[in-house]
Amino acid sequence: MPTRLQAPPPPAGTRSGGGGGSGWIQLVKAPDDIEAHLLAGRLAEAGIEVQTLPDQAAPGAWLYGGSNPWAPVRVLVRRRQLEEARLVLVEISWSGPAAERGQPAPPRRPVRLLWWATAIALGILFTAAALLQATRATAACVVPVFCDDPAQPSPDRGAPRVDQEVIR
61: helix, strand or coil: helix
Q: DSSP class of residue 119?
A: H
Cβ atoms of 82 and 12 closer than 8 Å: yes
User: Which CATH number is 19-95 given?
Assistant: 3.30.70
pLDDT at 165: 58
**pTM, entire model:** 0.48
Interval 62-112: pLDDT, tens: 777 767 778 888 999 999 999 999 999 988 888 767 667 777 776 667 778
pLDDT at 28: 92
Considering Cα of 144, then 150, then 152, then 156, what sign does the dihedral take?
positive
Interval 106-159: pLDDT, tens: 666 777 888 999 999 999 999 999 888 877 666 555 556 656 655 554 555 555
